[in-house]
Structure 1
Amino acid sequence: MVEIKTPEQIASMRAAGLVVAEMHRRCAEAAVPGTTTAELDRIAAAVIAEHGAKPNFLGYGGFPGNICTSVNDVVVHGIPSEDTVLASGDIISIDAGAIIDGWHADAALTVFVGDGHAPEVHELSRVTEHSLWAGIAAMRVGGRLVDISRAVERDIRKQPPPPSGRWGIVEEYGGHGIGSAMHMEPHVLNYVERRRGKGPRLVPGMCLAIEPMVTLGDPATHVLSDDWTVKSDDGGWSAHWEHSVALTERGPLVLTAPDGGRARLAELGIEAAPDPLG
């Protein structure tokens, strides 16, 4: 069953989303050469506490951090550690979540550490983030879940390929419903799988976390012995971008974007839904 939220519940999710946005802002500022991923985790914990929120990652299935910190060829679910020290030229995906009044929000962004990044690494992040917004723009009342998957995949496929040959769309992991729990139905693929059909109809009150993950090269992955860290098989670097989005009668509201997604959606000719928190 897909959980449908009331406007009041969406407002609580928006409050949680703003906490996530602040976690991202503070962690991204701190993601400089010499910083450990454990330090980023402590910053995220402080933001959660400052806003009277609760962490939704910490303890989830035994996960030991407040955020996921995935560096370079780590695709998702990297565990914060004192031993992982960021260096100039790295990229890091910071996946963060928070709970307000029992309602969840979840988002990820890819941050460039220092300088010296190859052009294809910059393009990797741009392509991934661009496909996220293409997916959000496809979240329209009356559409189908597959419309989002198709939009993400098409947007990635149409981009000029990198020197490594192709953009790899990670298939083992994807987006999800979100609301009274962090992970709910439906599963949101970042590509079209014909046997799954069109999926549920998109209706007001549906909330989804849309999160493309793209690699430089082969998209195949494996999980390390810690049972969390997901790496690319061929060592290709990965970018990860995610937003939690509520669908309303007046269009999408990007719960985890500071402006509700207004600016980026306007570039795509779409008006974001009004922000319930003003």
Structure 2
Amino acid sequence: MIIIKTEEEIEKMKLAGKILVKVHKELRNFIKSGISTMDIDNFCEKIILENGAKPEQKGYMGYPFATCTSVNDEICHGFPSDKVILKDGDLVTVDMVVNLDGWLADSAWSYLVGDVSDDVKRLYDVTKKSLYDAIAIVKPGTRLGEIGEVIQKTVEKEGFSVVKDFVGHGIGSNMHEDPQVLHYKTKIKGPRLQKGMVFTIEPMINMGEYKMKMDSNGWTSRTLDGSISCQFEHTLAVTDDGVEIITEQD
């Protein structure tokens, strides 16, 4: 069942979103060659707590960290580690959920470490573009399935592939709610969007094929062919005539 949020509830989620965006913006200057992904996790958790919020992912179904830090061939849910040291040319995605007074915001941004190859930069740009191309059609009356169709068209035109094993999702006072948001085209058009729906769009795009494999930790997924993967994610609220990005970046 899709839970329609009131304007007051969305305002509370926007406050959580402001904290999340603050963390991501500060990461822009923090992430560099030589730091570990555990350094990233500690940095994010500290800012979240200092702002009176808490990292919702920590403890969720036993997940032990405040963030997911996925490097290069890791698609998502990468475990922060003191042993994973970023180096020039890496791509790292940092995904986190902020809980402020019981209301959540969820967003993953990818970061380029130092000088990256042209192919990695193009993957980064196309992944981000696919998210914003999809956001551009979000408004009352749009069919949910149209989102994935837009993403797949943007991505495949550039020779990349869309991961099919993970989806966007409704969010509010719970991290995962209905509806599921596919990032690729299917025959199922899904419900029409309406004001008050709040959900994430979070395409994960691979430089090679879309297939994945799971690490032994039961959380981290990575590309089957070892190619680089990239992700961007925003939490969105459907408005009277369009959409508001709760986790907007600039």
Aligned partner (choices 228, 235, 238) of residue 237 of structure 1: 228
Q: Post-superposition shift, 1:182?
A: 1.0
**1:176-201 deviation per Cα after TM superposition (whole angstroms, max 9, x unaligned):** 1111111111111110122xx21121
Q: Which residue of 2 aligns with 1:265?
A: none
The TM-score normalised by the length of structure 1 is: 0.87
Q: Post-superposition shift, 1:258?
A: 4.6
Q: Post-superposition shift, 1:39?
A: 0.8
Aligned partner (choices 198, 205, 212) of residue 203 of structure 2: 212
Q: Which residue of 2 aligns with 1:164?
A: none
Measured in 1, the distance between the counterparts of 2:132 and 2:243 equals 11
Is the partner of 2:69 in helix, strand or coil? strand
The alignment status of 1:113 with 2:113, answered yes or no, reads yes
Measured in 1, the distance between the counterparts of 2:215 and 2:155 equals 27
Partner amino acid, structure 1, of 2:67 = I
Q: Which residue of 1 aligns with 2:168?
A: 175
**1:232-269 deviation per Cα after TM superposition (whole angstroms, max 9, x unaligned):** 0000000100000001114211000156xxxxxxxxxx
CA contact (8 A) 2:37 2:82 kept: yes
Q: Which residue of 2 aligns with 1:263?
A: none
- Residue-pair matches, total: 250
* Aligned-residue CA RMSD (Å): 1.1
Measured in 2, the distance between the counterparts of 1:233 and 1:150 equals 24
Taking the TM superposition and a 5 Å limit, the aligned residue runs for 1:1-278 are: 1-115=1-115, 117-159=116-158, 161=159, 167-194=160-187, 197-258=188-249
**1:65-124 deviation per Cα after TM superposition (whole angstroms, max 9, x unaligned):** 111000000010001111111111111001111011211110111101111x11111000
CA contact (8 A) 2:213 2:222 kept: yes
CA contact (8 A) 2:149 2:186 kept: no
CA contact (8 A) 1:23 1:96 kept: no
**1:180-223 deviation per Cα after TM superposition (whole angstroms, max 9, x unaligned):** 111111111110122xx211210000011000011111110011
**1:126-171 deviation per Cα after TM superposition (whole angstroms, max 9, x unaligned):** 1110000011111111111012111111221233x3xxxxx11100
Give the share of equivalent positions with the same residue, in percent.
39
Is the partner of 2:55 in helix, strand or coil? coil
Measured in 2, the distance between the counterparts of 1:70 and 1:258 equals 20
CA contact (8 A) 1:98 1:105 kept: yes
Gaps of at least 5 residues in structure 1 are 162-166, 260-278
Gaps of at least 5 residues in structure 2 are none
CA contact (8 A) 2:68 2:95 kept: yes
Measured in 2, the distance between the counterparts of 1:71 and 1:141 equals 36
Q: Which residue of 2 aligns with 1:267?
A: none
Is the partner of 2:238 in helix, strand or coil? strand
Measured in 2, the distance between the counterparts of 1:82 and 1:184 equals 33
Partner amino acid, structure 1, of 2:245 = V
Change (3 A) 1:131 1:258: closer
Is the partner of 1:185 in helix, strand or coil? strand
Measured in 2, the distance between the counterparts of 1:102 and 1:170 equals 30
Measured in 2, the distance between the counterparts of 1:110 and 1:205 equals 28
Measured in 1, the distance between the counterparts of 2:87 and 2:152 equals 31
Is the partner of 2:153 in helix, strand or coil? helix
Partner amino acid, structure 2, of 1:129 = K
CA contact (8 A) 1:139 1:147 kept: no
